[in-house]
């Protein structure tokens, strides 16, 4: 797949999520060897680790498997619940340190941080209130500042906060509030275009209004008709995903060409990792054709797959 990369800043990749992977181990998920094989076949060169334990956690094993397929790691992923108070630090840091160690060993520089959902992502059960108190907002901000400082100091990694459907940071107002209460040097956004759209936030507006806070992108789209039903019926994110709310580009919103153009105006290298939220896939044969078409589409929008 020939590319003219001389004037492009956005480097695209993909993630286990686009192969229906949400958990470290689940029989309904694409086996990790098949995932790696198909990523390379689809034309990508960069991937995320996904849930810790899905890909081999031994650095030598993982490095060998990646090298065999000419793949590299862009980021690891961790989950936090800092809004629940200071006692959440140790609960978050132990798994975060594991992810950070492996991420750094693989030569990556980013950790995508996803806040706890107020509804369970497997059952859809409401676990807590859907809005935070002032005290909880304060705890959330302090926790992420602390995490960002620790990741930079100990591992040279940058925290990329991921607003998420069915979390307490989902809407435009909530995202902006989170940005206002966190340190720009310690917390930047993994701007997920699909989750932003899901929550009614504008990805292009966020890029243009907070250019210094955009550290990483997840590229996905939502189907507007399915999203309208999700909102009208207050469906859980689990049920919304099963209904196909996250769709194959360019069938949905936002316009990824406009997002990529906005990202290019930042005039600095940036990862844009494709995630389609397909858990569980109907068949292991489903992800590869979608991934291949999506890669070609994003290249046509002005992205590239390799670092210049």
Top-confidence residue, 3 or 122:
122
pLDDT at 3 over 50: no
Nearest to 157 by CA among 169, 166, 147: 147
Confidence of residue 308 (pLDDT cuts 50, 70, 90): low
What is the distance between the alpha carbons of residues 75 and 192, in angstroms, rounded to a whole number? 14
- How much is the average pLDDT of 207-227? 98
Does 2 score more than 50 pLDDT? no
Q: Which residue has the higher pLDDT, 269 or 7?
A: 269
CATH code for the domain of 39: 3.20.20.150
- Domain residues for 252? 10-300
Omega into 254 within 30° of 0, i.e. cis?
yes
Number of structural domains the chain divides into = 1
pLDDT at 9 over 50: yes
pTM as predicted: 0.95
CA distance 108 to 103: 6
Strand ranges for 229-302 from DSSP E = 246-247, 270-274
Q: Is residue 62 part of a domain?
A: yes
Question: What are the φ/ψ torsions at residue 163 (nearest 5 degrees)?
Answer: -65, 150
Terminal alpha carbon distance of the chain: 15
* 35 within some domain: yes
Q: How many CA atoms lie within 13 A of 21 on its CB side?
A: 27
pLDDT at 261: 97
Pairing verdict, β 188-192 and 214-219? parallel
Does 2 map to a domain? no
Q: Which residues of 236-258 are buried (b: 16+ CB within 10 A; e: fewer)?
A: bbbebbeebbbbbbbebbbbbbe
Of 81, 193, 190, nearest to 128 by C-alpha is 81
**Which of 23-37, 44-58, 120-134, 147-161 is predicted with the least confidence, judged by mean pLDDT?**
120-134
Q: Determine, yes or no, domain membership for 4.
A: no
Q: What does the pLDDT read at residue 280?
A: 87
Structure tokens at 114: 């996803």
Cα distance between residue 6 and residue 260, in whole Å: 16
In a domain, 91, yes or no: yes
* Lowest-pLDDT range of 105-119, 167-181, 268-282: 268-282
- Average pLDDT in the 5-14 region? 85
Residues pairing with 23 in the sheet? none
On the question of pLDDT at 4 being above 90, the answer is: no
Percent of the chain with pLDDT over 90: 92
Q: From the centroid of its chain, how far is CA 300?
A: 22
- Of the pLDDT bands very low, low, confident and very high (cuts 50, 70, 90), residue 6 is low
* Residue 5 is assigned to a structural domain of this protein: no
The rounded percent of the chain whose pLDDT value lies above 70 is 98
């Amino acid at each position: 797949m020939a590319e003219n990369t001389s004037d492009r800043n956005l480097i695209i990749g993909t993630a286990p999520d686009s192969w229906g992977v949400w958990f470290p181990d689940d029989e309904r998920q694409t086996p990790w060897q098949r995932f790696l094989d198909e990523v390379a076949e689809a034309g990508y060169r960069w991937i995320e680790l996904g849930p810790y334990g899905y890909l081999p956690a031994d650095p030598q094993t993982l490095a060998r498997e990646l090298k065999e397929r000419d793949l590299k790691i862009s980021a690891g992923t961790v989950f936090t619940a800092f809004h629940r108070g200071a006692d959440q630090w140790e609960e978050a840091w132990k798994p975060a340190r594991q992810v950070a160690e492996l991420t750094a060993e693989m030569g990556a520089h980013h950790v995508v941080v996803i806040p706890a959902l107020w509804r369970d992502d497997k059952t859809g059960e409401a676990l807590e209130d859907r809005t935070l108190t002032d005290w909880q907002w304060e705890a959330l901000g302090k926790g992420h500042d602390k995490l960002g400082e620790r990741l930079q100091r100990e591992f040279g990694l940058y925290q990329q906060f991921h607003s998420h459907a069915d979390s307490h940071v989902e809407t435009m107002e909530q995202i902006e509030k989170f940005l206002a209460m966190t340190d720009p040097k310690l917390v930047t956004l993994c701007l997920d275009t699909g989750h932003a759209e899901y929550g009614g936030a504008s990805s292009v507006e966020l890029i243009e209004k907070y250019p210094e806070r955009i550290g990483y992108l997840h590229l996905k789209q939502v189907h507007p008709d399915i999203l309208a039903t999700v909102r009208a019926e207050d469906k859980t994110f689990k049920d919304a995903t099963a209904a196909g709310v996250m769709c194959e580009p360019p069938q949905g919103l936002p316009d990824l060409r406009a997002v990529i153009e906005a990202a290019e105006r930042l005039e600095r290298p940036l990862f844009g990792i494709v995630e389609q939220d397909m858990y569980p896939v109907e068949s292991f044969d489903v992800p590869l054709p979608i991934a291949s078409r999506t890669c070609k589409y994003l290249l046509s929008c002005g992205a590239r797959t390799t670092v210049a």
